[in-house]
Chain A
Amino acid sequence: MKLTGAQAFLKCLEEHGVDLIFGYPGGALIDVYDELMKNDNIHHVLTRHEQAAVHAADAYGRIKGSVGVALVTSGPGATNAVTGIASAYLDSIPLVVFTGQVPTKLIGNDAFQEVDIVGITRPITKHNYLVKDAEELIPIIREAFHLANTGRPGPVLVDLPKDVLATRITYPELKPISMRTYKPTYEPHPGQIEKACQAMLKAKKPVIYAGGGVILSDSNEELTELARKLNIPVTMTLMGLGGFPGTDPLSMGMLGMHGTYFANMAVANCDLLIAVGARFDDRVTGRVDAFAPHAQIIHIDIDPSSISKNVRVDIPIVADCKHALDAINAWFGRSKEFNVEECVEKNRPWHEQIREWKNKHPLGYIEETDIIKPQFVIQKLHELTGGDAIITTEVGQHQMWTAQFYHFNKPRQWATSGGLGVMGYGFPAAIGAQMAAPDKVVIDIAGDGSIQMNIQELATCRQEKLPVKVAILNNGYLGMVRQWQELFYNKQYSSTVMEVAPDFVKVAEAYGAVGLRALKPSDVEPVIKEALKTKNTVFMDFVIAREEGVYPMVPAGKATTEMLLV
């Protein structure tokens, strides 16, 4: 039986288990939207901006552990999606983005709403395709899903010309995908595992540095087993939060620019650094030559190009983190040289040293009785949700306070734009997260600047009847830039004062959502409790201390030991 391209497209999505897509219609995709009306198996979420559709699909995939799907039209629809695609690329998030395109005969003619989106997104996708032949449509979509979700995950874009979607084709039968040029390495080299384990046996001051790869490969249990078995302290990147329980005694929290004092000191003084699914981002390393200067470095990563990219690695292990950690745990399971008591004893002085650093400069803030401190709001959110909520954030100070004070104990509980740092990510991400986990409390922790980047998604929330909560830490500034201006630019607050801002309570109400406001510390708990029992979408406007900073802080380009601690 012959199907139109649009019918085959939807059938192929169903074949991949897709029951939810985020998107925005347009002329080039009208055939697909026409078919969607008749389809009972795929729910389409109409966002109010294409960027939001991609962020929502990104977070849906992160929380659910599957591939998110976004569908946007040609030209401006496609270019609006670019920020979302770039964010997913830098965070290695599995995503398939479909863009509409003008008919094949018009491609290259500057037709109405034509852009070369394959060209535009080439550097920010794992791979991308322009379907020029209708017979290639289904094989390409199958390949796109395969690429997005295997090896190092990432976004894949498929550009769909209007005539391809209207052409009748025979739906090809499903065959195993075999690509001559793409064969990721999942299994670690036994010789490298042996070397790594021997180094771990010898180390007296080891540290595990866990990144987003731990979450993506679902290797949190294997990582926890290794850390506990060998009594190794663990620090996590922003993307790695939840990869190891944040409340575990071995957890040192986050490292890097806004990491804890003790995590940064431990990395600076360790004799062995075990990097798992992390990429030595500049926000983590600070000045590279002063990063872990005394350490032998083991690096587990599925992407060979991540190895020795920023920091010299002594023992590279190119493999899926789960497979590599499994192999390491198995090695210690059968090793005659390994003795738990000896290992604990050997590391004891190291743990005492870390405790000393922790006691000297614990993570904290100065409490005040009449002004709401943002850290206090996060602590209350943690307490009143039992640490069990799914948290998304925008980008800025609130993001760092959340990373510091909401202690994530589980993976896939946290979605933030780490690599690209997108203001406007958190609210649409909360929509995707809520649809991935309808029974969970989902909170977007936002700044007053960031929430205004995609505030129109209140309409999407209301249309889908989503009980998403948004906690706005409102200081009337673009806080993170203001903090840099305060510290390094002589308090010249150039364009960081939000002189005109909406009344967030009224904005929420205008969309039929609920708006709550907290002006003093005693308001915080009642507002959160009220929000948590409300079934509707809620904006919580926390009017916080205006000039609170995020500390510790490593100034850009400094060594991670050169922290500002105030």
Chain B
Amino acid sequence: MKHTISVLLQNKPGVLSRVTGLFSGRGFNIESLSVAQTLEPDVSCLTLVTSGEDTIIEQITKQLHKLIDIIKVTDMCEHDNVEREMALIRVKAEAHTRAEVLRIVDIFRGKVIDVGPKSYVVEITGKASKLQAVIDILRPIGIQEIVRSGTIAMTRAHKS
């Protein structure tokens, strides 16, 4: 089963390498990873997606906890949460397909953020499944390049 794990860690050189080294050293795979500063400049938030049986995920979270530079580890699957990914897609956009691309981007609430003579760069955010749907629909038109971010996630506000 896929797990999204959110990790708060010290914003210092080498810390990311400790996390990734922990995964590679134990033969666990990281499917996606994203990391950036939080409200506190010396603290970063790292979100990673991995998969495995419950026992493996338990080991992963315990081993992450054990790293000296790690402040907090949260398995987002144990919480109601929102997840987002972003994709930048360079898609062919010639005279006869431009309208079609714009329509698709609009349906998926995306944005065209760069316009060239023969292509658009489209920005799409959402869950991984939504991004995949956009890619599948744009592919017949002609995708030239894709860059995807890792997943980021946040727990939902507790609603009483």
Residues of A within 8 A of B (CB): 118-119, 122-123, 126-127, 130, 147, 179-182, 303-305, 307-309
Complex contact A122–B14 (CB within 8 A): yes
Taking a contact as CB atoms under 8 Å apart, the answer to whether B63 and A122 are in contact is no
In whole Å, how far is A60's beta carbon from the nearest beta carbon of chain B?
Answer: 24
Report yes or no: B25 in contact with A123, Cβ–Cβ below 8 A: yes
CB pair A305 B68 closer than 8 Å: no
Decide yes or no: A179 and B21 within 8 Å by CB, A304-B62, A308-B58, A309-B59 being known contacts.
no
B66 CB–A CB distance under 8 Å: yes
* Given A308-B55, A309-B59, A180 and B65 contact (CB-CB distance below 8 Å): no
B86 interface hit (Cβ, 8 Å)? no
Contacts of B70 in A (CB 8 A): 181
Query: Tally of A-B residue pairs with Cβ under 8 A?
Result: 37
> Which of B10, B58, B59, B66 is packed against the most chain A CB atoms within 10 Å?
B66
- Closest-CB distance, A144 to chain B (whole angstroms): 11
Which chain A residues border B127 with CB–CB below 8 Å? none
The 7 closest A-B pairs by CB, nearest first: A305-B62, A127-B68, A123-B25, A181-B71, A305-B66, A305-B63, A304-B62
Nearest Cβ in chain B — how far from A116, in angstroms? 10
Alpha-carbon distance between A123 and B10 when the two chains are bound, in angstroms: 18
User: How many residues on chain B are close to A (CB under 8 Å)?
Assistant: 19
18 example contacts (A-B, Cβ-Cβ < 8 A) are as follows: A118-B14, A119-B14, A122-B14, A122-B18, A123-B21, A126-B68, A130-B13, A180-B71, A181-B10, A181-B69, A181-B70, A304-B66, A305-B59, A305-B62, A305-B65, A308-B55, A309-B59, A309-B62
Q: Output the least CB separation between A186 and chain B (Å).
A: 16
- B24 closest partner in A (C-beta): A123
Known contacts A181-B10, A181-B70, A309-B59; decide if A304 and B18 are in contact (CB<8 Å): no
User: In the assembled complex, which residues on chain A have CB atoms less than 8 Å from the CB atom of B71?
Assistant: 180-181
Known interface pairs A122-B14, A122-B21. Does A303 touch B69 (Cβ–Cβ under 8 Å)? no
Contacts of B17 in A (CB 8 A): 119, 122
Bound-state CA distance A529–B25 (Å) is 49
Chain B residue numbers with a CB within 8 Å of A307 are: 62
Establish whether residues A147 and B59, one from each chain, have CB atoms under 8 Å apart when the complex forms.
no
- State in angstroms the CA–CA spacing of A328 and B63 once bound together: 28
Report if A304-B68 is in contact (Cβ < 8 Å); known contacts: A122-B21, A123-B25: no
